[in-house]
């Protein structure tokens, strides 16, 4: 008769992989990316905190999905080590999200009173 503890753990691992392993890898990677970004560049107020959290999670999930699709990494979702690697990919994709959003809003805020023509001219000069 198998030992109840080891068979229970094995059953839980199988259920985790079958039902939510990929979702857990996505959530873990996105959450860790948001935490790291918030610690490295602390938000100045609650609004910025919310924007940072949302933009980091969205860039983690969206960027991670694009990366997985582009490089054909779907098969990683079927092994425990692959799920950990997918979490790392998703984590890495989320890190630049907050910085890009912060830079965009700083650019917009700096030109708040400018006309659309002046903003277009500034963008053209930057590019």
Give the pLDDT means over successive 10-residue stretches in the chain (127 positions): 48 55 68 77 81 86 92 89 86 85 86 90 89
Give the whole-angstrom CA distance, residue 32 versus residue 94.
Answer: 9
Question: For position 44, what pLDDT does the model report?
Answer: 81
State the Cα angle at 103 between 120 and 42, rounded to 5°: 160
Question: For position 101, what pLDDT does the model report?
Answer: 85
Question: For position 8, what pLDDT does the model report?
Answer: 47
pTM over 0.75: no
Question: For position 99, what pLDDT does the model report?
Answer: 83
**Cβ atoms 89, 22 nearer than 8 A:** no
Give the whole-angstrom CA distance, residue 2 versus residue 100.
Answer: 53
Question: For position 11, what pLDDT does the model report?
Answer: 52
Quick one: tokens of 123?
Answer: 């963008």
Quick one: tokens of 11?
Answer: 């059953």
Domain boundaries, position 69:
4-126
Q: DSSP character for 79?
A: S
């Amino acid at each position: 008769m198998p030992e109840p503890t080891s068979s229970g753990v094995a059953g839980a691992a199988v259920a985790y992989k079958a039902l939510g392993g990929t979702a857990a890898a996505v959530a873990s990677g996105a959450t860790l990316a948001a935490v790291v970004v918030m610690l490295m560049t602390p938000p100045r107020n609650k609004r910025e905190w919310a924007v940072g959290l949302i933009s980091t999670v969205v860039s983690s999930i969206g960027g991670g999905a694009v990366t997985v699709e582009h490089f054909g990494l779907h098969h990683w979702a079927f092994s425990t080590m692959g799920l950990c690697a997918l979490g790392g990919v998703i984590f890495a994709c989320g890190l630049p999200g907050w910085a890009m959003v912060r830079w965009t809003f700083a650019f917009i805020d700096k030109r708040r009173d400018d006309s659309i023509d002046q903003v277009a001219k500034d963008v053209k000069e930057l590019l």
